[in-house]
Amino acid sequence: MGTTVFLKPNINFGDIMTKLWGGRFSKGTHKLVEKFTNSIHFDYKLAKYDVLGSLAHIDILKKAKLLNVREHKKIQSALKAILKTIENETFKIDLSFEDIHSYIQHLVEIKTGKAGLKLHTCRSRNDQVALDVKAYTLDNLFYTQKNIEHLIESLEKLATKNRELIIPGFTHLQHAIPVSIIEYFSAYIQMLSRDHQRLYNAAMNIDLTLGAGALAGTFIPAGYYQHKNSSFLMDIEPTKNSLDAVSDRDFIIESLNTLATIGMHLSRLAEDMILWSTQEFDFINIDDAFCTGSSLMPQKKNPDVLELVRGYSGRLFGNLTNVLTMMKGLPLSYNRDMQLDKEPLFDSFEIVQKELAVLTELFKNVEFKKENIEIQLEDESLYATDLSDYLVQNGVAFKDAHKIIGHLIQHKLANTVKIKNMSDSELKKFHPTLNERIVNKIINPKTSINSKKSLKK
Ligand code: ARG
C-alpha cells in the first residue's frame, strides 16, 4: 500500500500503518487509546478543506523548491481526484484512521507513491487543522447568512400579505397596545438582520494563514506563504504569530456565540407561534405539513417543529459554553483538547441551518385567523394608553391622565360595562373632555396604530 515508510520492522503493521507518526514508538497504540483519541468519525467533514489546503500547501512547497514540477503535478492530480470524489459524494471514509488529515495523506501516498511522502513537508496538523476549520467556518458563516436571507424574505412575504392586520401587542404576555403585523414581524427581521451582520463580522475576523508549523514556524520564507487564487473564500497569508496560529480558537467561539444568539432569536419566534397556535390564542393556523400528531390522542395537531426550534437553543448555548470551557486555562500552544472544538462547531452550524430552512418553509404556510384576532382587539384595556394620550394632548398632566384612565378601567371591570357604551355624562365624571364620540374614535385598532408617529419609516 506504499505506507510502510512509517513502520519500524518490529512494529505491528496493522497497528501503525495508518498514522502520521510512530518512529519513536516501540509498540503499537492500545486499541482503547486509538478509539479514544481518533477524530475521523467527525472531522471527516473537513475533507474538502483539507484537500484545498493541501493544494495550496504543495504550491508553496513548489515555490520553495521542496517539490519539483513532476512531484507537484503528481500530488496535485491525486488531490484533485480526491476532491472530485468529495464533491460527487463518492468519497469513502476509512474510520480506522486517526483523523481526516492522516487519511487524506494516506490516499495521496497510495496514488503517488514516493512523491506523496513529501506532502507533509514543513507542515504540522496543528497548522493544517486550524486552516481547515477556518475555511469550513468561513463557508458556513456565508451559507448561514443565505439561510437568514431566505427566512427574512419568508417573514416579509407573510407580513406583506397580511399588511392590514393588527394584533394585540403584549408586554408580560398581557394585553398592552395594538401593533401592526408588519411591525411585529419587522421586530424579528431586525434581530435576524443583526445576526446576519454578526455572521459577517465573524467571517471578517478570520484570517487564513499557513507557516506556523507545529508551533514555531518553518524554514520556508514568509513570502512563499502569500498564496493567491486559492479555492478558499480568502487568500492565504503568512502566519503572524505561530503560537497563536495553532492555538487560537476565537473564530470558533465567535461563530458559536453568533449561532447561539440566532438560536435564541428563533426560539422566541417559535414560542410566539406556539402560543398563537394554541386554542387559547388561536391567532394562526400552521399548515398540516408542518405539524405532527399524537400516537394516542386522535385530535392532536402539535407544533413540534417550533418546539424543537425552541429546544435546540439549549444545545446551541451548550456548544458555546463547551468550547469556552475547553479553551479556558489551556497553556500555549496546541493541546489535544482542541480536537474537541469540532463537534460543537459542526453541530451548531447544522442545527441553525436546519432551523432556518424549515422555518422559511413553515412561514410560507401560516394563515391568520382574523376573526379571532378581531375579537381579542375588542378588549378595551388595549386602548387605555391611547385614552390617556388623548387627555395629555388636551392639557392634562401625564400622571393625572394615567390615574383618570386607571379609574375608568377599574370602573369598567368592576361593573362589567364597555367604555364604548358609557354615556357622555358618565364619561365626563372621569374627565370633562371625554365623551361617547371621542372614546368610540379612540377605542379602535386602526386609530391606535395611526396615532403612533414616532417610528422611523
Ligand atoms: N485531529 C487533531 C485535531 O483535530 C489534529 C491535530 C493533531 N496534532 C497533534 N499534535 N496531535 O486537533
Domain stop point among 121, 141, 163? 121
- Distance, CA of 267 to chain centre: 12
* Ligand 1 atom at minimal distance to the Cα of residue 334: 10
Rounded to the nearest angstrom, the gap between the alpha carbon of residue 147 and the centroid of all alpha carbons in its chain is: 9
Q: What is the structure's pLDDT at 135?
A: 96
> Are residues 242 and 351 both part of a single domain?
yes
User: What is the model's pLDDT at position 13?
Assistant: 36
Are 141 and 253 members of one domain? yes
Residue nearest to atom 7 of ligand 1 (CA): 125
Spacing, Cα 394 to ligand 1 middle (Å): 73
pTM of the model: 0.94
39 lines ligand 1 (CB under 6 A): yes
Nearest by Cα to 232 from 104, 139, 120: 139
Whether 175 is catalytic is no
Compute, in angstroms, the gap from residue 27 CA to the centroid of ligand 1.
Answer: 20
Domain-located, residue 457 = no
172 is catalytic: yes
Whole-number Å distance between alpha carbons of 431 and 434: 6
Closest Cα to atom 12 of ligand 1: 339
Query: Do 173 and 199 belong together in one domain?
Result: yes
Residue 126 in contact with ligand 1 by CB distance below 6 A: yes
- How far is the centre of ligand 1, averaged over its atoms, from the C-alpha of 256 (Å)? 21
Which residue's CA is the nearest one to ligand 1's atom 5?
125
- pLDDT of 1 reads 37
Do 131 and 200 share a domain, yes or no? yes
Alpha-carbon dihedral 149, 150, 156, 160, rounded to 10 degrees: 140
Structure confidence at residue 232 (pLDDT): 84
**What pLDDT was estimated at residue 333?**
97
**Residue ending a domain, choose from 329, 350, 370:** 370
- Residue 270: which domain range? 126-370
Together in a domain, 137 and 38? no
Q: Whose CA is nearest to atom 3 of ligand 1?
A: 339
Average pLDDT, the chain: 94
Ranges in the chain, pLDDT < 50: 1-17
Residue 1 lies in a domain: no
CATH number of the domain where residue 388 is located = 1.10.40.30
**Is 79 among the domain residues?**
yes
Q: Are residues 42 and 70 in the same domain?
A: yes
408 within a domain of the structure (yes/no): yes
pLDDT tens-digit map of 265-314: 999 999 999 999 999 999 999 999 999 999 998 999 999 999 999 999 99
Among candidate residues 341, 370, 399, the one where a domain is terminated: 370
From 77, 96, 231, 294, the catalytic residue: 294
Contact 356, 144 (CB under 8 A): yes
pLDDT in tens, 365-424: 999 999 999 999 999 999 999 999 999 999 999 999 999 999 999 999 999 999 999 999
Nearest CA residue ID for atom 4, ligand 1: 339
| Å from CA of 323 to ligand 1 middle | 16
What are the C-alpha distances in Å from 246 to residues 44, 132, 140, 164, 338?
A: 20, 12, 21, 56, 10
- Same domain? 71 vs 31: yes
- In this structure, is residue 14 part of a structural domain? yes
Express as a percent the part of the chain with pLDDT over 70. Answer: 96
Residues 223 and 321 in one domain: yes
Question: Are 144 and 74 part of one and the same domain?
Answer: no
pLDDT computed for residue 449 by the predictor: 97
Per the residue annotation, which of 172, 423, 425, 454 is the catalytic one?
172
On whether both 114 and 195 belong to a single domain, the answer is no
Q: What's the CATH number where 177 sits?
A: 1.20.200.10
CA distance 153 to 161: 12
Does ligand 1 have an atom closer than 6 angstroms to the CB of 338? yes
Residue 208 within a domain: yes
**Cell 499557513 sits on residue:** 210
336 CB near ligand 1 (under 6 Å): yes
- Which of 45, 95, 99, 249 most suits a substitution to test ligand 1, by most atoms within 8 Å of the C-beta? 99
Sequence-distant (6+) residues with CB within 8 A of 218 are 122, 123, 211, 212
Report yes or no on 83 lying in a domain.
yes
Distance 244 CA to ligand 1 centre (A): 15
Measured CA to CA, the distance from residue 17 to residue 6 in angstroms comes to 7
Residues 165 and 291 in one domain: yes
**Number of independent structural domains in the chain:** 3
43 Cα to the center of ligand 1, angstroms? 10
What's the CA-to-centroid distance between 124 and ligand 1, angstroms? Answer: 9
pLDDT at 20: 84
345 and 413 both lie in a single domain: no
In a domain, 456, yes or no: no
Nearest atom, ligand 1, residue 214 CA: 10
